[in-house]
């Protein structure tokens, strides 16, 4: 079967799971995906810039 080489056996998957469970999880970041981290930082920066701009506008113009 040609598909056997693409799909691992259940025994090898079970071995991978037990090996992974035996090791402590590395806590390096809150984001698993680099794109999620980038989107979070961009939205945070945009929010801060918008709030600072609004503060300056209302200080200069008043209500």
Structural domain total, the chain: 1
Question: Does residue 5 lie within any of the structural domains?
Answer: no
For residue 31, give the DSSP letter. Answer: -
Q: Is residue 14 part of a domain?
A: no
With cut-offs at 50, 70 and 90, classify the pLDDT of residue 22: confident
Q: Is 4 a member of any domain?
A: no
- Is 25 contained in some domain? no
Residue 44 CA to residue 52 CA, distance in Å, equals: 12
Domain of 44 in residue numbering reads as 33-63
DSSP 8-state assignment for residue 24: P
Query: 32-55, pLDDT tens digit by residue?
Result: 788 988 999 999 999 999 999 999
Counting Cα atoms < 13 Å in the Cβ hemisphere of 6 gives 3
Residue 24 lies in a domain: no
pTM: 0.52
Q: How sure is the predictor about 23, in pLDDT bands with cuts at 50, 70 and 90?
A: confident
Cβ atoms of 29 and 37 closer than 8 Å: yes
CA pair distance 33, 46, nearest whole angstrom:
20
Q: Tell me if 59 is assigned to some domain.
A: yes
């Amino acid at each position: 079967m040609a598909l056997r080489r693409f799909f691992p056996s259940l025994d090898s998957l079970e071995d991978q799971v037990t090996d992974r469970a035996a090791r402590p999880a590395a806590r390096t970041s809150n984001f698993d995906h680099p794109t999620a981290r980038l989107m979070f930082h961009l939205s945070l920066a945009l929010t801060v810039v918008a709030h600072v701009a609004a503060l300056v506008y209302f200080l200069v113009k008043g209500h």
